[in-house]
Structure 1
């Protein structure tokens, strides 16, 4: 399959900013209305950024409903859903604690209970049934829309890595392919370790999204380990946090990341037409030979 060089993210819509709480609050206030969100998405779409890599936040259901009503306007629109929505579970953690919150979302005797007991003979039907249930529930908002890649969020990916329940990655991949005809994607804060785990469970040439930037911002293992992986491992890399939340000037950030081997896409967030168009221009400049729409 082909992947666009530039993907539009949704952090700005939900008050997520890793460097500035004040900016995060300001953005959350600004994007309380659907019209404000759609204005920015329209700017991205009109600039040629037609893939929206988004969480399964309840507000995204409003976006998909609006786009379904205007199929001609959004004929080229593509979604890369990222599930589950992390902050939904984070809020539950704050209210009920780790064990209590997980029990809200998982059935009794589910795979987390087994993990907490240290059990290794996990019933296949339990984990497969739970995984497919969660995926299908969160995919309902995208019904009738193009979703060629479906991502598992890092809050789950990295938890499963830590627990050692990596078979869940294969189950997720198999269901996404069989049910939705989509490629499975994985978001992680530890690229090298995840690649090892995916190799072990037979998920080949995976799509993996991780922080990739020249100063090692939120890159577990450091820049050298990531560059080594991109040079020597078989996978399709999607880079996020390329600007390191504003710590790296845009041109410098894009120039550095664009020269890395095996990079397929960059995901970025922006809240204004000018910032979107600036990023499109930079990507066009440094990936000019292949173009904005010709990743593979």
Structure 2
């Protein structure tokens, strides 16, 4: 993995400290062209990895990148799925069963299975999960996707339910079909690390909040540090600035000093902020 990854929260009006700023960002980035301007700035500053949800707008970004192979020769995506809001909206519109069948292939056998009401059986659920993963991955066809994430809303739901087998299904399918590294986003790094180990998943890539003040770090700093120092996971740190609560240099210097953190993912809306973060990561992590 690269040491610095570019995230997409700012493009979809997500800001954990300011609803006003989130609304302004959502308005600013309502056009794909505005998103591409920022992605181009990040790319030109040397950042080559875009860690993104499977939001419908990302499909438009994929089309632009696919249509310009020379411009984005070494650009890669790290898809994060499922995009929970997309499925929540579908449930509202179509109902639970209708939402699931909505994302199935029109001619798929699993659609018939769903309609017959037998999909709650574990075997069928595993098959449906794989089809849904494939549906989410379709927008990235022909593009580089070396790492694929399970989104935190889904990861932590499964974690809370104790249904850890689903992590293994996701892990094996991503490796077998896409020849990619399966990865997981969570709000509880210590608990997820234990759950993945119980399923025999070794050295997993886990993305979670990691910052100096413990912002949104379920379990606390000490438990996170213990997991990182164990050497049993490959960590990606997000929310390193704690939504602006920590000065950039102080935040990155602290995270870079932690054992087990391989990468930082961040979001920015301006070339200046992108360049500043890039320079700090080069200073404290030895490159991009």
Is the 1:4–1:265 Cα contact (8 Å) retained in structure 2? yes
Give TM-score scaled by structure 2 length: 0.91
Structure 1, gaps ≥5 residues long: 112-122
Aligned to 1:117: none
Q: Does 1:143 align with 2:141?
A: yes
- Where do residues 1-296 of structure 1 align in structure 2 (5 Å cutoff)? 3-91=1-89, 95=92, 101=96, 104-105=99-100, 107=114, 108-111=117-120, 123-288=121-286, 291-292=287-288
Deviation at 1:38, TM superposition (A): 0.3
Q: Measure, in 1, the Cα distance between the counterparts of 2:88 and 2:236.
A: 25
Name the structure, 1 or 2, with higher relative contact order (CA <8 Å, separation 6+): 1
Q: Measure, in 1, the Cα distance between the counterparts of 2:58 and 2:217.
A: 28
Q: Measure, in 1, the Cα distance between the counterparts of 2:135 and 2:235.
A: 27
Deviation at 1:104, TM superposition (A): 2.9
User: What is the CA deviation profile of residues 123-174 of structure 1, one whole-angstrom value per residue up to 9, with x for unaligned ones?
Assistant: 4421221111110000000000000000000111111111111001001000
Is the 2:45–2:274 Cα contact (8 Å) retained in structure 1? yes
Q: CA RMSD in A?
A: 1.7
Give TM-score scaled by structure 1 length: 0.89
Deviation at 1:287, TM superposition (A): 1.2
Aligned to 2:104: none
User: What is the CA deviation profile of residues 66-116 of structure 1, one whole-angstrom value per residue up to 9, with x for unaligned ones?
Assistant: 1111000000100000000122234457x48xxx558733744444xxxxx
Is the 2:87–2:99 Cα contact (8 Å) retained in structure 1? no
> In the comparison of the two structures, how many residue pairs are matched?
274
User: What is the CA deviation profile of residues 174-227 of structure 1, one whole-angstrom value per residue up to 9, with x for unaligned ones?
Assistant: 000010000000000111110111011111110000000011111100111101
Residue 285 to residue 234, structure 1, CA distance change in 2 (3 Å): same
Is the 1:188–1:210 Cα contact (8 Å) retained in structure 2? yes
Q: Measure, in 1, the Cα distance between the counterparts of 2:159 and 2:182.
A: 17
Aligned to 1:115: none
Q: Structure 1 runs of 4+ off > 6 angstroms? A: none
Q: Measure, in 1, the Cα distance between the counterparts of 2:22 and 2:97.
A: 27
Q: Measure, in 1, the Cα distance between the counterparts of 2:68 and 2:174.
A: 27
Q: Measure, in 2, the Cα distance between the counterparts of 1:241 and 1:127.
A: 33
Q: Measure, in 1, the Cα distance between the counterparts of 2:223 and 2:72.
A: 39
Aligned to 1:118: none
Structure 2, gaps ≥5 residues long: 102-113
Q: Measure, in 2, the Cα distance between the counterparts of 1:169 and 1:103.
A: 25
1:159 counterpart SS class: helix
Aligned to 2:111: none
1:127 counterpart SS class: helix
Deviation at 1:279, TM superposition (A): 0.2
